[in-house]
């Protein structure tokens, strides 16, 4: 039973006693155990990544009313392995004039910036990398490293299109970090802590998606912009700038960029699940009943978390395969003129209301927060409609001065 409830500590305790029995000094034992833990976590993430390639191709196929890969293995399950073998045996071309060290560093930084996020992802209440007390800010920091990898990759390719794609992509990512940071403050305020474990525990009463649906929406939009997926995928706009900053990358280096993007999308799905949908907790509230108390162990929680993360990833894919691409100036205008003010309004509203309504009983609090979000959403939609009406009127009858310009 201790294995089921607390697998990580059980295994590390067993290994520690084993290594002490072999006579190693205690500092070295600690370092070895940490390394083994890190390796296991990273391998889990990378194996999941291979599975995600298959999921992506099947899901996009179904959205486009076709079947997807189904020849290699049952349901095409061996397809990602075929893809990886193909990428590994491709020729590795480094363009002349490219900066060799930076060219090879780009994909490494890209995948590193995703894997370091797995250190704070709470897979269950007892299975996690580390319980940082600034985990929410760590999420933003990992995004900053991802931005760096794109610039390095774009610059080192010695190619105008790569550089242009990298510029646009970085402008996009840096701009959308602002609403993301502001919205990340909302679970922090509601849970009174920046640690993801505390945020997950605080949602045992009511998911934050119900308390603040606008925050969920804004986080979803900024997360998709940070990932660089459609509809914000200016860097991969095949019709515009060929393949953006990964034009010159062939073989496994491109594979690292691609796999890194998929894993990043899944990790953001995981964070949406943790921050807004209750993370690993809550098997439909069943585990609160006496009979089902065995549902409280770590493995069930891990399965619940992965299922929620997969759902978040599916929503991100759904948006990708349903919406057209947005132009770069529209993207930036949308961020600075709409998303940032809206996120600041939602933050102030949440901060004020969570203190004002804290005296009410549980359902009053939930209802108050939810209604306030609906009111803000309604006012925003009305402002947009008035703005759109005004725009249409100026375009329908232009004043004589405008005609002369």
Partner 1 sequence: MTVDRIIFLVPAALILGSAVMVVITRKLIHAALWLVAALFGVAILYAILQASFLAVVQVVVYIGAIAILFIFAVMLTRREMLDKGAQTRSNWWLPALLGLLILVGLVFLIIGQPAFGQPAAALPAGLDALRSLGTALVSPDAFVLPFEVASVLLLAALVGAVYIATGNKE
What angle is formed at CA 133 by the lines to CA 269 and CA 275, rounded to 5 degrees?
A: 25
Nearer to partner 1, 152 or 217 (CB): 152
Q: Is 375 in the site for partner 1 (CB under 8 A)?
A: no
Q: Taking contact as CB under 8 A, which single stretch among the options 138-146, 276-284, 298-306, 388-396 is the one that binds partner 1?
A: 138-146
Does residue 143 touch partner 1 according to CB under 8 A? yes
Of 23, 27, 74, 361, the one binding partner 1 by CB under 8 A? 27
CB atoms within 10 A of CB 145: 15
Q: Which stretch binds partner 1 (CB under 8 A): 149-157, 206-214, 245-253, 263-271?
A: 149-157
Q: Does residue 102 touch partner 1 according to CB under 8 A?
A: yes
Segment near partner 1 (CB under 8 A); pick from 10-18, 70-78, 162-170, 297-305: 162-170
Residue 167 structure tokens: 């510029």
Kindly tell me which of 27 and 361 has the beta carbon lying closer to partner 1.
Answer: 27
Least distance (Å) from partner 1 to the CB of residue 299? Answer: 30
Q: Which of 4, 18, 141, 348 binds partner 1 (CB under 8 A)?
A: 141
Shortest Cβ 122–partner 1 spacing (Å):
17
248: contact with partner 1 by CB under 8 A: no
Is residue 152 involved in binding partner 1 (CB under 8 A)? Answer: yes
Is the torsion defined by CA of 372, 373, 376, 379 positive or negative? negative
CA–CA separation, 121 and 104 (whole Å): 28
> CB-wise, 163 or 272, nearer to partner 1?
163
User: x/- string (CB under 8 A) for partner 1, residues 205-234?
Assistant: ------------------------------
CB of 79 to partner 1, least distance (A): 36
- Comparing CB distances to partner 1, the nearer of 8 and 178 is 178
Residue (143 or 165) nearer to partner 1, CB? 143
Omega before residue 338 within 30° of 0, cis: no
List all residues 6 or more positions away from 242 whose beta carbon is below 8 Å from its beta carbon: 161
Residues that bind partner 1 (CB under 8 A): 27, 102, 132-134, 137-138, 140-141, 143-145, 147-148, 151-152, 155, 163, 167, 170, 174, 177, 194
């Amino acid at each position: 039973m201790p294995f089921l409830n607390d697998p990580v500590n059980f295994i590390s305790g067993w290994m520690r006693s084993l290594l002490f029995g072999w006579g190693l000094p205690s500092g070295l034992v600690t370092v070895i155990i940490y390394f083994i833990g890190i390796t296991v976590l990273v391998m889990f993430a990378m194996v999941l990544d291979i599975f995600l390639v298959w999921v992506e191709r099947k899901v996009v196929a179904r959205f486009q009313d076709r079947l997807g890969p189904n020849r290699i293995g049952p349901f095409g399950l061996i397809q990602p392995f075929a893809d990886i073998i193909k990428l590994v045996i491709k020729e590795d071309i480094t363009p002349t004039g490219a900066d060799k060290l930076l060219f090879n560093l780009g994909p490494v930084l890209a995948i590193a910036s995703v894997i370091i996020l797995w250190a704070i992802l709470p897979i269950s209440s007892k299975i996690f990398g580390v319980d940082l007390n600034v985990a929410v800010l760590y999420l933003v920091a990992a995004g900053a490293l991802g931005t760096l990898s794109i610039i390095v990759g774009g610059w080192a390719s010695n190619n105008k299109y790569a550089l242009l794609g990298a510029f646009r992509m970085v402008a996009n990512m840096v701009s959308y970090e602002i609403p993301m940071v502001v919205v990340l403050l909302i679970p922090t305020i509601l849970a009174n802590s920046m640690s993801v474990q505390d945020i997950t525990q605080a949602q045992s009463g009511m998911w934050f998606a119900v308390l603040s649906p606008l925050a969920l929406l804004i986080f979803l939009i900024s997360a998709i912009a940070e990932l660089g997926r459609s509809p914000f995928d200016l860097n991969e706009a095949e019709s515009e700038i060929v393949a953006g900053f990964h034009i010159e990358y062939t073989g496994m280096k491109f594979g690292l960029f691609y796999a890194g993007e998929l894993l990043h999308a899944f990790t953001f799905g995981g964070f949406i699940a943790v921050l807004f949908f209750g993370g690993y907790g809550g098997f439909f509230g069943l585990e609160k009943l006496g009979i089902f108390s065995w549902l409280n162990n770590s493995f069930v929680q891990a399965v619940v978390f992965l299922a929620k993360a997969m759902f978040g990833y599916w929503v991100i894919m759904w948006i990708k395969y349903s919406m057209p691409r947005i132009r770069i100036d529209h993207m930036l205008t949308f961020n600075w003129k709409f998303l940032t003010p809206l996120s600041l309004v939602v933050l102030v509203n949440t901060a004020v209301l969570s203190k004002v309504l804290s005296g009410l009983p549980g359902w009053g609090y939930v209802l108050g927060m939810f209604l306030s979000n609906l009111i803000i959403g309604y006012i925003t939609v009305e402002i947009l409609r008035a703005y759109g009406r005004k725009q249409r009127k100026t375009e329908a009858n232009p004043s004589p001065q405008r005609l002369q310009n």
